[in-house]
Structure 1
Amino acid sequence: MAHSNPTYLLVHGSGHGAWCWRDVLTEMARRGLSARALDLPSHGADATPIAQVSLEAYRDAILADIDAHAGGPVVLVGHSAGGYPISAVAEAAPDKVARLVYVCAYVPCNGVSLADRRRAAPSHPILDVITRTNDGLAFQFIAAKAPDALFHDCPPEVIGFAVARLGPQAIAPQETPLPLTAAYASVPRSYVICDHDRIIPPVFQATMTLDWPATSVHHLPSSHSPFFSMPARLVDCIVATPTKCPAQAAP
């Protein structure tokens, strides 16, 4: 499934939007790489009501974007909760995905929801920095706590830019189990562990990739937001093709 000149499609995580990839897209353009980012349903400029958001809607939005741009295959890059939608795409249409790149992201287990995956971690720092919306359908990052939790190693300009754009995150897609088969397992994958992450414990990121080939796991001395704190180094990791990245064992 090699692709000599791949296109990179960047998928954001909880409460974020395509805006979080601003500096990464600039860096990729500087290198002459083909890359784009999208807003998942109800995020960024997308006006889908929270009540209509599902993991399937996330998956279908990514597939629609791929199909709108010649059908791929693309390298799908998922940040944080974005690990689940990109995995759902690989399960549904492995021929459209050249590689999956998880950036301090949740790696799914067969039949397990993202929320249950998070609950399996040794600690849950995100619970201290979010609050549920009044309708109970979503959660939001607490603005006063977001800078230290998400962006503690980012420039002040970035913190103001990002905190102002954080939005609600629908709970339903994160409580939805994701069945996985050999289709997902056939897609090569790599991971970027962020060693100073205050949202997803770095030790849990390491646990999720424990049995991966060493050449497919990268480390950055970054917060949960390497796209802002060290975009050039993140791009280095995203574009790195593992020297040996065989199809994964079926989950």
Structure 2
Amino acid sequence: MSEVLLVHGSCHGAWCWRDVIPALAALGHEARAIDLPGHGADTTPLAEVTLDAYADAILAALDRPAILVGHSMAGFAITAAAEKAPEKIAHLVYLCAYAPRSGVSLVEMRREAPRQPLLDALEKSADGQSFTVRPEAAAGVFYQDCPEEAVAFAVPRLCPQAIAPQAMPITLTDRSTSLPKSYIRCTEDGTIPYEYQVTMTEGWPEGSVEDMPTGHSPFFADPEGLAARLARIAERGR
């Protein structure tokens, strides 16, 4: 049995993993999800949300080495956690996520992508500290291949996303880069273009990258299939 900690992406919370956790449990793995600061049930003020705070929240949730799964922007969060305490992490899994480069922020990486499908769906707050996803646009960018029930569950739960952690460049060392890692690319992604996911994983070790035929939210579109992929990654790491 492996311990798996599931970390959500922008505007989401632990709630988005509701279907994956029991699917992983059915395969014999202990899975948990957390709310990053300022997300879900966590009440950290947006002005206090930083990439460092994300990393600390992840590490506080770990009491033994675990597989970290980071969705979308959480690619930065799990990597930042690995830089702080690699001994707490058995494997890094990037799920249609930003795979950080040293000295570059997530905002900069987003701008590098050949397309910006999310841009028109966003609204920036008046104080410039956060953005939200317009509810009428959320299904098209996040949930286009998800069951209607899941979309109805998810959209009202989307929260403002602090910009500060996404604008902070990250410095990578062998503390994170030496850890085992995997990437699950989503071929129908309506948020992070698939072709940019291909670019981010160029040169990764053979067998560490695989494609999943879903949009940006495989945790709703195919939770059993995602759980099976994560279970295989866990088995390979033993």
TM-score computed with the length of structure 2 as normaliser: 0.96
2:139 aligned partner: 147
Q: Which amino acid aligns with 1:232?
A: E
Q: Unaligned stretches of 5+ in structure 1?
A: 246-251
The residue number in structure 1 matching 2:164 is 172
Matches within 5 A, 1:116-135: 116-135=108-127
Aligned-pair distance for 1:214? 3.0
Per-residue Cα deviation, 1:85-134 (whole angstroms, up to 9, x for no partner): 10011111111110000000000001111111111111111111111112
Aligned to 1:30: 26
Gaps of 5+ in 2: none
Q: Is the 8 A contact 2:24 2:228 kept in 1?
A: no
Structural mapping, 1:87-98, within 5 Å: 87-98=79-90
Q: Which residue of 1 aligns with 2:177?
A: 185
Worse-matched range after superposition: 123-132 or 220-229:
123-132
Aligned match of 1:113: 105
Q: Please report how far the alpha carbon of residue 136 of structure 1 lies from its aligned counterpart in structure 2 after TM superposition.
A: 1.3
Secondary structure at 1:145 match in 2: helix
Identify the match of residue 208 of structure 1 among 200, 211, 214. 200
Structure 1 CA distance, aligned partners of 2:126 and 2:149? 30
**AA aligned opposite 1:193:** R
- What's the secondary structure of 1:215's corresponding residue? coil
Contact 1:218 1:237 in 2 (8 A): no
SS at match of 2:135: coil
Secondary structure in 2 aligned to 1:241?
Answer: helix
Moved more, 205-214 or 164-173: 205-214
Q: Of residues 5, 10, 16 in structure 2, which corresponds to 1:14?
A: 10
Instruction: Give the whole-Å Cα distance in 2 for the aligned partners of 1:58 and 1:241.
Output: 24
Identical-residue share of aligned pairs (%): 50
Check conservation: 1:6, 1:73, Cα contact below 8 A.
Answer: no
**RMSD across aligned C-alpha pairs, in angstroms?**
1.4
Written as runs of structure 1 = structure 2, the 5 A alignment for 1:223-242 is 223-241=215-233
**Would the aligned equivalents of 1:193 and 1:218 in 2 still touch at CA under 8 Å?**
yes
| Count of aligned pairs between the two proteins | 237
